[in-house]
Amino acid sequence: MELSKIKKAHIIGIGGIGISAVAKLLITQGKEVTGSDMFDSDLIKQLQKLGAKIVIGEHKKENVPDDVDLVVYTAAVQDDNQELVKSKKLKVEIMNYFEFLGQFSQDKTTIAITATHGKTTTTAMTGLIFDKAGLDPTVIVGSKIKEWDGNLRMGKSDYFIVEACEYKSHLLNLNPKIVIVNNIEFEHPDYFTDLNHTIEVFQEFINKIPHDGYFIYNADDPVLKEQIEKPDCQVLSYGIENESADLIARNIKVDHGRQIFKPVYKGQELKDFNLQIPGKFNILNALGPLLLAMEINIKLDTIKDALAQYKGAWRRFEIVGQLSGQGEDKDGALIISDYGHHPTEVAKTIQATKEFYPDKRLIVAFEPHQKKRTKKLFNGFVKTFVESQADLVILSEIYDVAGREEEDQISSQDIVAEVNDPKIVYSPDLDKTKEMILDNVKSDDVVLIMGAGTIDQVARGLV
């Protein structure tokens, strides 16, 4: 792909959280952008303001201009999609979102952040440190970041910081100079057969790092520590529990809505750092960017300020607001939205919420994501909710993912039955979930709403 020669691009599924960043990137490069999506959204409205011509509704071949130079499509698009079929007949350059990222990154110093959990937060933190240091990176992240008013920061330097997704081995499209890996667990059972298959894909990606590159990993993670072969490059590690790591976080405490910790870099104690976001997992998310920044000689105060000012990303422990319009005995409850949908993410986020708000009652509403993965991860979900510190958990019915569902007979009711605790209750749909929250909430409560599906709409509706 020679980006300079492209004049007109069409994007199928343009409203996706990742691919919409590609649309912005092309627009900032002076390209004429058209697109289509099944549903309208704030992201699409933002693209339209920038000049993109977007059709909302069923994908049709008429949506693709005959004189288009490039077609990019979201991974959810099937082979029989009318717009994709027409694009192939036009014999123009066609690539999916991840192939585009790979092409765009070829002449860049690519810093890829990947993991089963935490890659969005770590990507954002890395980008913000580089931004604050004046290194002018281009950053693509799978969420909306307040500081950049979206999911893209367009820079002029060679640095390209990108969230690398492991699903369907998409990360293998990238050729990174630097890789940060937070953790590896079994996830995406509609693609990966088991943990070993997952490890194989991550290993193949890590092996792509050149000799003069960096591999930075979480030494607390057992898979990364014991089962990943370290590549022939500069290898650095971080952790909280592993005392042999190059960067360690010590003296962790929570004080007035902040986490405070002391980094120890290769045996040298540094000044205290603090974060506005909760959970030890977020300290681990911060340690990778901190370690990289130290290695390339970014000033310590710059790193500290960037991390301290980070308020989180959209749907990553996002404080949406306070409950309103329900009466003084309910209004004022804090509403938090989070994208977490793996048992580990759910458990750690509930724990982090209790750490930040130890004296408040906690209501959790969770929508499992996809029947097949819920079935595969069933025991993990049961363990999460058996051990949950929440005062009430509302399990909404499983979110069906278009194009990724199987005929698996499973329901959130099955998790509720297995947990067998009166604090864990079932909801058949999101309307009922919202109703159940309102029936139980009190003005001083914290309401944590979790899931990768449409349950975020409940959070927005409550405020």
Residue 374 sits in the same domain as residue 276? no
Cα gap 348→389, rounded to integer Å: 11
Domain of 436, CATH number, reads 3.90.190.20
Does residue 49 belong to any structural domain of this protein?
yes
Q: Is-contact 215 209, C-beta < 8 A?
A: yes
Is there a domain that residue 102 lies in?
no
Residues 199 and 221 in one domain: yes
Domain co-membership, 266 together with 298: yes
Return the amino acid letter for 174: L
Identify whether residues 62 and 132 lie together within a single domain: no
Rounded to whole angstroms, how far apart are CA atoms 111 and 104? 13
Residue 404: per-residue pLDDT: 47
Mean pLDDT by groups of 10 residues along the chain of 463 residues: 89 93 94 95 93 95 95 90 96 93 93 94 97 97 88 96 91 96 90 94 98 98 97 98 96 91 97 93 96 97 96 84 92 93 91 92 95 91 95 94 63 96 96 97 96 92 92
Q: In this structure, are 80 and 144 located in the same domain?
A: no
Of the residues 276, 309, 342, which one is the last residue of a structural domain? Answer: 309
Region of residue 140 (phi > 0: left; psi between -120 and 50: alpha; otherwise: beta): beta
Q: How far apart are CA 207 and CA 99, in angstroms?
A: 19
Tell me whether residue 103 is in a domain: no
* 3-state SS string for the chain: CCHHHCCEEEEECCCCCCHHHHHHHHHHCCCEEEEEECCCCHHHHHHHHHCCEEEECCCCHHHCCCCCCEEEECCCCCCCCHHHHHHHHHCCEEEEHHHHHHHHHHHCEEEEEECCCCHHHHHHHHHHHHHHCCCCCEEEEEEEEHHHCEEEECCCCCEEEEECCCHHHHHHHCCCCEEEECCCCCCCCCCCCCHHHHHHHHHHHHCCCCCCCEEEEECCCHHHHHCCCCCCCEEEEEECCCCCCCEEEEEEEEECCEEEEEEEECCEECCCEEECCCCHHHHHHHHHHHHHHHHCCCCHHHHHHHHHHCCCCCCCCEEEEECCCCCCCCCCCEEEEECCCCHHHHHHHHHHHHHHCCCCCEEEEECCECHHHHHHCHHHHHHHHHCCCCCEEEEECCECCCCCCCCCCCCHHHHHHHHCCCCEEEECCHHHHHHHHHHHCCCCCEEEEECCCCCHHHHHHHC
Count of structural domains, the chain: 3
Query: Is the residue at 325 inside a domain?
Result: yes
Answer yes or no: do 73 and 114 share one domain: no
| Residues 249 and 283 sit within 8 Å (Cβ to Cβ) | yes
Does any domain span residue 411? yes
Answer yes or no: do 21 and 116 share one domain.
no
Judgement on whether residues 114 and 253 belong to the same structural domain of the protein: yes
CATH label of the domain that carries residue 38: 3.40.50.720
Contacts of 69 (CB under 8 A, 6+ apart): 5, 6, 7, 8, 9, 92, 93
The answer to whether residue 231 sits within a structural domain is yes
Contact criterion met (CB below 8 Å) for 363 and 391: yes
Q: Same domain, yes or no, for 298 and 334?
A: no
* C-beta separation of 43 from 150 below 8 A: yes
| Length in residues, the chain | 463
Q: Are residue 191 and residue 172 in the same domain, yes or no? A: yes
Which of 33, 67, 96 is the last residue before a domain boundary?
96
Instruction: Give the separation between CA 236 and CA 117, rounded to whole angstroms.
Output: 19
Whether 95 and 1 have beta carbons less than 8 Å apart is answered as yes
Report the C-alpha gap between 395 and 343 in whole angstroms: 13
- Cβ atoms of 312 and 440 closer than 8 Å: no
Are both 128 and 258 inside the same structural domain? yes
Task: Let me know whether 322 and 251 are in one domain.
Answer: no
**Which residues have C-beta within 8 Å of that of residue 65, sequence separation ≥ 6?**
8, 10, 34
User: Domain of 165?
Assistant: 108-309
Cα dist. 255→71, 181, 260, 278 in Å? 50, 28, 7, 11
Rounded to whole angstroms, the Cα distance separating 184 from 223 reads: 6
The CATH number of residue 223's host domain is 3.40.1190.10
**Is the CB of residue 162 less than 8 Å from the CB of residue 112?**
yes
* The domain boundary residue, chosen from 71, 96, 121: 96
Is the residue at 273 inside a domain?
Answer: yes
On whether residue 101 sits in a domain, the answer given is no
